[in-house]
Structure 1
Amino acid sequence: MSNQKKERPSIASLLRKLTMFTLTAFLLFRMEGGIATVADAIDRPAIESNLGAHSVLLSVTFVGDHFVAVGERGLILRSDDDGKSWHQLSSPVSVTLTGVSFFDDENGYAIGHGGIVLRTTNSGNDWKVQLNGLQLAEKLLQQAEKSKDEESIRQAKWLIADGPDKPFLDLLVLGRDHLVVVGAYGFAFESIDGGQTWASCMDRIDNPFGLHLYSIRKQGERILVAGEQGFVALSMDDGQSFETIETPYEGSFFTAQLLEQDGIVLAGLRGNTLVSDDNGQHWKDIKNPISSSIMASFIHSDGQVIMANQAGTLLGLRENRLVPLTRKRLPPLTNILEKANGSVLALSINGPVFIDVGDFK
């Protein structure tokens, strides 16, 4: 693995990042009012509201015959009519939820700020807390003391003192009871029993400065992790080990895709997009007419990689350039998902947005 030569960001630098992301559509680091508020919010159920469908939503997935979306203030929403209307489901937390994914029609997980991991076993109708930031810090301290690693012990004690405000930012659901979560400060944890116990994956990823991890993707036995300051790590053995991949861009990558034939797509800050067809040995810089941060992507059923940015635009990856796919102006987008008819369900800072196939150029 190659070594990162950049210095760890200062506290002032991290605070500036937190402030910036609070203002962005994705709201990855939306402030919860201080450590005491976060500690309270991880135990406080979300307040019922009629404004859920007009709030900041950050992740959506298709479950059976309905959609489930999550977002700020612990919101969990469900749509039973193809995204036309939404109703709120009960949520045991009030922290911002950043990701949701299901293994099958019954079993799914949601993640968020405060080190939160939620689980449902009944299609999202009920959710239980499987992990929070307080429990996470204690687990890290127990593991560090068992290994007698003084630096790990010091870091774990710092986490306990600093409070449970560290967010998880993406998840990979590998089985009914098997999931991996990644997030701020290089956090990467795995559970094989549905979240009852957790093991750190951080010793497999060469990330000594704890750079934030925004995206995790899997294709075959390849697993890719992408994050801030151009950080990318790739596993070729189903996550048993990772190699740090050098990239020509040192800004944050918020989303990534693994393509067939050793392909990788990375996109993020200011619209910077890179493509490799040899697992990151060489990179091509993709031309983008819109210098707005790309926050989400997916691979359409027609094979095209589609991206969403903070300018409220859908972009299609075609050869060596990104092409705008939408004519009308949309609010800043946070996530996108293909619907059964090939159209796109997008999330925004104002709630869900339906994008018809007819809107594509």
Structure 2
Amino acid sequence: MGNGRLALFYLIVFFCGRIDVSVAAVADAIDRPAIESNLGVHSVLLSVTSVGDHFIAVGERGLILRSDDDGKSWHQLSSPVSVTLTGVNFFDDENGYAIGHGGIVLRTTNGGKDWKIQLNGQQLAEKLLQQAEKSKDEESIRQATLLIADGPDKPFLDLLVLGRDHLVVVGAYGFAFESIDGGQTWVSWMEQIDNPFGLHLYSIRKQGERILVTGEQGFVALSIDNGQSFETIETPYEGSFFTAQLLGQNEIVLAGLRGNTLVSEDNGLYWKDIKNPISSSIMASFIHSDGQVIMANQAGTLLGLRENRLVPLTRKRLPPLTNVLEKANGSVLALSINGPVSIDVGDFK
């Protein structure tokens, strides 16, 4: 299977769950705690964050894993759901959130020891219907009614944690919602993000007052007023962007399907194409402490952005990578379809 098709396969299976996943199965999984297993460290993991002196990672079947020894070993934490979890982030050492399939939002207030369901897709649809009926907006009522009929089958794919009780989540079909009370109530951002075809939203990033949202079919939206309004940004590529970074005051980096990478130095007015020797989809990125943007792709390679090109940073072939994070010593913790992989600085070219 070629790199392009391989990337699409993993995206469909692990991010959107559209292969042999029924609404009934998702509905059951959002109410069923994750099964305890010693195979978690070898499973598909999709997101990782540092919390104090340890790491927490999430992935398929509701897995939540913790490492207390710099990623050398991992143990499973209890999880109230069995749906795939796609994102995790913390505000401080105690307060954090995880998101996933079925419109799931989980919250912890004790550093990840315990997680509680704050939202699922069925609850979200019901809340949207209540809001629509209150506003007497017929189109909103129609859409919310359809969501209830669909069932909780739509995944969240990325999140911003802006405070102990403040978060924004984005996901499939253009879903974008904000909560300022820890997930008790939600306000839609879908009105200010012009996405009439409901394109999937894969990433959301914030720097200062800028908030960037990227998604499928080249969709990019930028806010320069802290999310109050968004402008749709045109790009020369119509494929999906799975990850992005905001640099400086006006610089934007986009990367995604088939390794396509773009950089703008003027908030998206003009774009330049970045040369990439590997035509495999880029799934994740981060800004290293040395200022370099590092990306992870489905070919199992870490890439460094240097001027107008991407340079492979790893010598050995790794499994398809799904996420990446810098460790305290400057080395890298990567996630893959076969679990976490630690990459020492000495492995970089």
Structure 1 and Structure 2 fold alike (TM over 0.5) = yes
Alignment of 1:142-161 (within 5 A): 142-161=130-149
Which residue does 1:23 correspond to in 2?
A: 10
- State how far apart, in whole Å, the 2-side matches of 1:20 and 1:340 are: 30
User: Does the alignment pair 1:351 with 2:342?
Assistant: no
- State how far apart, in whole Å, the 2-side matches of 1:47 and 1:198 are: 30
Which residue does 2:26 correspond to in 1?
A: 38
- State how far apart, in whole Å, the 1-side matches of 2:61 and 2:302 are: 26
- State how far apart, in whole Å, the 1-side matches of 2:130 and 2:105 are: 20
| Residue identity opposite 1:184 in structure 2 | A
Alignment of 1:170-185 (within 5 A): 170-185=158-173
Structure 1 residue 131: deviation in Å?
Answer: 0.2
Which residue does 2:3 correspond to in 1?
A: none
Structure 1 residue 30: deviation in Å?
Answer: 2.5
Aligned counterpart for 1:323 among listed residues 285, 307, 311: 311
Q: Secondary structure at the match of 1:202?
A: coil
Which residue does 2:204 correspond to in 1?
A: 216
In structure 1, runs of 5+ residues without a counterpart are 1-18
Q: Cα RMSD between the aligned structures?
A: 1.6
- State how far apart, in whole Å, the 1-side matches of 2:161 and 2:242 are: 19
Structure 1 residue 150: deviation in Å?
Answer: 1.7
User: Does the alignment pair 1:308 with 2:320?
Assistant: no
- State how far apart, in whole Å, the 2-side matches of 1:190 and 1:318 are: 35
Q: Closer, same or farther in 2 for the Cα pair 1:21/1:117, shift >3 Å?
A: farther
In structure 2, runs of 5+ residues without a counterpart are 1-5
Structure 1 residue 23: deviation in Å?
Answer: 3.1
Cα deviations by residue, 1:65-106 (Å, 9 ceiling, x for unpaired): 110000000000000010000000000000000000000000
Aligned counterpart for 2:213 among listed residues 201, 225, 240: 225
TM-score (norm 1): 0.93
Task: Identify the range of structure 1 (283-292 vs 31-40) with the bigger mean alpha-carbon deviation.
Answer: 31-40
User: Does the alignment pair 1:203 with 2:191?
Assistant: yes
Structure 1 residue 140: deviation in Å?
Answer: 1.2
Which residue does 1:76 correspond to in 2?
A: 64
Q: Closer, same or farther in 2 for the Cα pair 1:332/1:190, shift >3 Å?
A: same
Decide whether the 8 Å contact of 1:77 with 1:86 is kept in 2: yes
Decide whether the 8 Å contact of 2:45 with 2:339 is kept in 1: yes
User: Does the alignment pair 1:239 with 2:253?
Assistant: no
Count of aligned pairs: 345
Decide whether the 8 Å contact of 1:25 with 1:333 is kept in 2: no
Structure 1 residue 151: deviation in Å?
Answer: 1.6
Which residue does 1:290 correspond to in 2?
A: 278
Q: Closer, same or farther in 2 for the Cα pair 1:341/1:360, shift >3 Å?
A: same
Structure 1 residue 26: deviation in Å?
Answer: 8.0
Alignment of 1:81-120 (within 5 A): 81-120=69-108
Decide whether the 8 Å contact of 1:25 with 1:334 is kept in 2: no
Decide whether the 8 Å contact of 1:21 with 1:27 is kept in 2: no
| Residue identity opposite 2:345 in structure 1 | V
Q: Secondary structure at the match of 1:84?
A: coil
| Residue identity opposite 2:217 in structure 1 | Q
Task: Identify the range of structure 1 (258-267 vs 27-36) with the bigger mean alpha-carbon deviation.
Answer: 27-36
Aligned counterpart for 1:264 among listed residues 239, 252, 273: 252
Structure 1 residue 33: deviation in Å?
Answer: 2.8
- State how far apart, in whole Å, the 1-side matches of 2:256 and 2:108 are: 31
Q: Closer, same or farther in 2 for the Cα pair 1:142/1:212, shift >3 Å?
A: same
Aligned counterpart for 2:55 among listed residues 67, 70, 74: 67
Q: Secondary structure at the match of 1:223?
A: strand
Q: Secondary structure at the match of 1:214?
A: strand
- State how far apart, in whole Å, the 2-side matches of 1:205 and 1:298 are: 24
TM-score (norm 2): 0.96
